[in-house]
């Protein structure tokens, strides 16, 4: 992944992290932008406070669906930021393959490629990751 791309994802992740830290108890039916062609549940989305974010990182099509709890999501975000620091961001933790950029745009803290995520979901090896 290019450094500029990684910077953009880091910005997004940092914005998500500060929102999770500052506003973990408020839930709202606000989606961050429109969905592409990937179906994402609308039942649980995160509150959006664009003024607090103050960043154009969210202008990309990007929807956060909270299938895990905020704490779990925060943990995933922290791990993703770690991977950016170690420059392994965008690499699947299971198979070492490349995580599609489209998947990362929809789910910036994804740690596995879509194929591994589906496998893990099927085996219930670890908590489900939203797609
Ligand atoms: Zn994989």
Number of domains in the chain: 1
Is 37 inside any structural domain?
Answer: yes
Report the pLDDT averaged over residues 51-55: 48
Q: How far is the CA of 92 from the centre of ligand 1 (A)?
A: 5
Q: How far is the CA of 102 from the centre of ligand 1 (A)?
A: 15
Is 120 inside any structural domain?
Answer: no
Is 57 inside any structural domain?
Answer: yes
Q: Which residue has the tokens 């099509």?
A: 61
pLDDT in tens, 83-114: 999 999 999 999 999 999 999 999 999 999 99
Q: How far is the CA of 79 from the centre of ligand 1 (A)?
A: 17
Residue by residue, DSSP assigns 53-65 as H-SGGGGSS---B
Over the chain, what is the mean pLDDT?
74
Domain of residue 40 covers 3-89
Residue 126, pLDDT score: 54
Rounded to whole angstroms, the maximal C-alpha distance in the chain is 41
Q: How far is the CA of 75 from the centre of ligand 1 (A)?
A: 20
pLDDT in tens, 77-88: 999 999 999 999
Q: How far is the CA of 59 from the centre of ligand 1 (A)?
A: 27
Is 103 inside any structural domain?
Answer: no
Q: How far is the CA of 17 from the centre of ligand 1 (A)?
A: 24
Please tell me the distance from the alpha carbon of residue 106 to that of residue 126, in angstroms, as a whole number: 20
């Amino acid at each position: 992944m290019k450094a500029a791309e990684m910077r953009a994802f880091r910005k997004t992740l940092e914005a998500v992290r500060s929102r999770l830290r500052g506003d973990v108890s408020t839930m709202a039916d606000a989606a961050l932008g429109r969905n592409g062609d990937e179906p994402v549940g609308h039942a649980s989305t995160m509150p959006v406070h664009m003024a607090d974010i103050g960043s154009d990182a969210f202008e990309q099509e990007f929807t956060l669906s909270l299938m895990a709890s905020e704490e779990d999501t925060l943990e995933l975000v922290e791990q993703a930021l770690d991977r950016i620091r170690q420059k392994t961001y965008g690499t699947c933790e299971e198979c070492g393959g490349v995580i599609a950029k489209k998947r990362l745009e929809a789910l910036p803290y994804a740690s596995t490629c879509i194929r591994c995520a589906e496998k893990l979901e099927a085996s219930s090896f670890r908590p489900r990751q939203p797609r």
